[in-house]
A and B are shown apart, each in its own frame.
Chain A
Amino acid sequence: MPYDAEISRNNPTCFLLMIDQSGSMSDGFAGQTDRSKAQQLADIINRLLADICLRCVKNPSEGVRDYFYVGVIGYGRNDSAYPALAGPLAGQQLVRVSELANNPLRVEQRAIQVEDGAGGLMQRTVRFPIWFEPLADNGTPMCQAFQMAYDILQDWTKRYPRSFPPVVFNITDGQPTDGDPLPDSQRLQQLATSDGNVLVFNIHVSETAGQPLLYPEREDLLPDDYARLLFRMSSVLPPHLVTFLREEGFTITPQSRGFVFNANAVEVIRFLNIGTRPKNLR
């Protein structure tokens, strides 16, 4: 059965994030003008990376277990695609999760609101590591980003041929400016381990207010050609993600794709969290 492999230190899996850093990311999410999509997305990505690290921490003495490889590709600056981790890991395409945890650019202290257990909210200060800085510049060279992802994961799948296959998230707010990304996306999905093909999920974020379309199963449900293109570029959700999303209350069928259109920040966070949740972590 595909997408069933146990994730262990000997058989890790891989998360690759492709982040649109084009000029249009300087606009805010729908209904939010105080912060740009780039800034908000940087917070979301940094939080996700921190959560991925924390999943691999078991006890005080052991450090971080290398269950995952993680990479972040940005695309936009100089109309190119590039490794987007900052700080000590700058320039690295893919790193072990222990390297990630031990090498943030900086660790900030941030106040968050948590429930106080008596029906109210209270502030708590958390350590918030930063690996990824916001940027909004130039066009949307998505094809180049998919080609870079292919090169990275081709090596990785050869190295870990029995692992749970890599999961790629492409987060974008606009149409590609360097051609049709569908062939590159399909080529990427052809890469595989013995447990299944590489999973490519697309998240479209928008500054215009509109109903998000979440995990569609048919492209005729989508409003325009661009949405249908992203639908075709997205993998069908594997069974464990179908289960996780159903637990969250979504109506998901076995044909549902890993694709959200017109997503607000909450839906982006939710999909990234669920999509990186391991089924079978040893």
Chain B
Amino acid sequence: MNVTSALSRLKPLLRFHHYLVNYCHALSQYWPRPALQLHSWPETALFTEYFLMRRRLARPDTHVSPPPEPTLTKLPGLPAAPSHWWLVLCRMPKQGNTLDECEDAWAFAYDQECQVCEDYDEHVRRRLRWPTLHNRLTLAISDGASDSFAPAQWARLLTRQAVQDRIVDCPRERLLRWLRDLGEHWRASLDLNNLPWYAIEKAERGAHATLLVLDLAPNSQGGTATWLYKVLAIGDSCLFHFRNQRLQAMFPQIKAEDFGASPHLVASNHDYNKRHLTQQAIIRGQGDFEPGDELWLMTDALAAWVSQACAACTRMPNIRMRDIVTFFDQLRKGNRMRNDDVTLLRLFWQQS
């Protein structure tokens, strides 16, 4: 046996060991919370491998017990939660840029403990499953404006705080106060000592980003097993709601040809927000989320393509999630999608 073949045989074992170490770490960190680990898995640990490994770990000869499946909590007056929630997350930089240059951000929080999840280190895509959800799920995406200062940091701060603070129902005045505090926090986090004139001036002008927040909660009306989603959107990051493979709703409603114009933006600068974030700039919407439905949250480049695809054919566009990198590359090369950072959060659930 030569060295190469020996290494190739060892590789799966090493990989499994790597998973095991990560998994134990994740267990120690989250136990006894619902088993949703985002932080330790390499890019190759896609959904299938992840759940296969959970089974392996559950064998009696292993010394690690799997985390308990969260039990379904049926609250009085609320519908039974569906059995399988799926969230597919994808974040890709512009072609030619590295992932750490990507100025999009996403975050989500789920259930009562408000576990905020975000990850910007290595993942292009990720697929998650909850056996159940108890009472909430909040998702947020943001597209940092390239010509502003530290837009990626601003987009991350916005999404993280938006899912934590559940801002969907905030009236404008409260939203502005929330943004003012967040802007001050962003400004305080910058170290501008000994920087040249352009860094200081640019920091004074602040950061800008779009913001799309989706809040999902059980719908207790009518006694049916549906959930109600509410959305708040500023700018051209969009939510698409599909039912029976057809477009049910889009927030905000933007025609394909209107993407690329100057969108409304959330700024770290309070004065800017007071002037520009009018009631008309803050788009709100809501709808029922039923078994089989899909909710897609995405930033503008992909939203323009989806919007165009929906206008041409009412059926839900087919996004090849299994090979998303090639899929987006093909769209870009065919000039069907602008070369921009892309974030896609795709949420759907199946009732057993």
What is the CA–CA distance of A102 and B96 in the complex, to the nearest angstrom? 26
Q: Pick the most buried of A10, A59, A101: most chain B CB atoms within 10 A of its CB.
A: A59
Q: A54-B205, A59-B153, A60-B150 are in contact. Are A8 and B96 (CB under 8 A)?
A: yes
A247 CB contacts on chain B under 8 angstroms? 261-262
Q: Is A115 an interface residue, CB under 8 A from the partner?
A: yes
Binary contact track B180-224/A, C-beta < 8 Å → 1, others 0: 000000000011100111111111110000000000000000000
Given contacts A53-B198, A282-B94, contact A60 B203 (CB under 8 A): yes
Q: When each residue 93-115 of chain A gets 1 if its CB lies under 8 Å from chain B and 0 otherwise, what string results?
A: 00000000110100100000011
Judge whether A243 is part of the interface by a CB distance below 8 angstroms. Answer: yes
Contact yes or no, A127 B192, CB < 8 A: no
A129 with B274: CB separation less than 8 A: no
Contact B204 A101 (CB under 8 A): no
In contact, A54 and B196 (Cβ under 8 angstroms): no
Asked if B339 CB lies within 8 Å of chain A CBs, one says: yes
Contact B197 A107 (CB under 8 A): yes
Q: Which of B96, B150, B262, B271 contacts A10 (CB 8 A)?
A: B96
B199, B261, B262 pick with most chain A CB within 10 angstroms: B199
A237 on interface, CB distance cutoff 8 Å:
no
B200 touches A58 (CB 8 A): no
What is the total of A-B residue contacts with beta carbons within 8 Å?
Answer: 63
Interface pair B261/A243, CB less than 8 Å apart: yes
A57 at the interface (CB under 8 A from B): yes
Asked whether A55 is an interface residue with its Cβ less than 8 Å from the other chain, the reply is yes
The CA-CA distance from A39 to B147 in the complex, in Å, is 29
Question: Given the complex, which residues of A lie within 8 Å of B152, measured CB to CB?
Answer: 59
Report B-chain residues with C-beta under 8 Å of the C-beta of A114. 271
Beta-carbon contact of B195 and A54 below 8 Å = no
**B199: nearest residue on chain A (CB-CB)?**
A60
Contacts of A101 in B (CB 8 A): 196, 198
Given contacts A50-B201, A57-B198, A57-B202, contact A282 B271 (CB under 8 A): no
Whether A54 lies near B153 (C-beta < 8 A) is no
Of A6, A50, A54, which contacts B339 at CB under 8 A?
Answer: A6
Interface string of A101-142 (1 = CB under 8 A from B): 110100100000011110000000011010000000000000
Complex partner residue of B271 from A60, A107, A115, A129, CB under 8 angstroms:
A115
A281 to B147, CA, bound (A): 8
B147, B150, B261 interface centre (most CB from chain A within 10 Å): B147
B261:A60 contact, CB within 8 angstroms: no
Known: A10-B96, A115-B275. A60 touches B191 (CB 8 A): yes
Residues from 198 to 224 in A contacting B, C-beta threshold 8 Å: none
A8, B200: Cα distance in complex, Å: 23
Interface magnitude class on chain B: 20 to 34
For B198, list chain A residues within 8 Å (CB). Answer: 50, 53-54, 57, 64, 101
> In this complex, what residue of A is CB-closest to B101?
A58
CB atoms of A129 and B197 under 8 A apart: yes
- In the complex, what residues of B have CB within 8 A of residue A59's CB? 149-150, 152-153
Given contacts A281-B147, A282-B97, whether A57 and B271 have CB atoms under 8 Å apart is: no
Contacts of B338 in A (CB 8 A): 280
Residue of B nearest to A54 (CB): B202
Chain A contacts for B151, CB-based, 8 A: 58
- Complex Cα gap A185–B152 (Å): 42
Within 8 A of A (CB), among B16-55: none
Q: Which of B197, B198, B270 has the most CB of A within 10 A?
A: B198
Q: Are B201 and A117 in contact (CB under 8 A)?
A: no
Complex CA gap A127/B205 in Å reads 12
B275 touches A60 (CB 8 A): no
* Residue B314 lies at the interface, judged by CB distance under 8 Å to chain A: no
The interface residues of chain A lying within 8 Å CB-to-CB of B147 are: 55, 281
Chain B residues, CB < 8 A from A107? 197
Q: Is B351 an interface residue (CB 8 A)?
A: no
Question: Which residue numbers of A lie inside 8 Å of B, CB to CB?
Answer: 6, 8, 10, 50, 53-55, 57-60, 64, 101-102, 104, 107, 114-117, 126-127, 129, 243, 247, 280-282
Extra inter-chain contacts (6) besides given A57-B202, A126-B204, CB under 8 Å: A58-B150, A60-B192, A60-B195, A115-B271, A117-B275, A282-B94
- 11 A–B contacts, CB within 8 A, in A order: A54-B198, A54-B205, A57-B149, A60-B150, A60-B195, A60-B203, A64-B198, A102-B196, A107-B197, A115-B275, A127-B197
8 smallest beta-carbon distances between A and B, as pairs: A117-B271, A127-B197, A57-B202, A59-B150, A107-B197, A101-B198, A54-B202, A57-B198
Residues of B within 8 A of A (CB): 94, 96-97, 146-147, 149-153, 190-192, 195-205, 260-262, 270-271, 274-275, 338-339
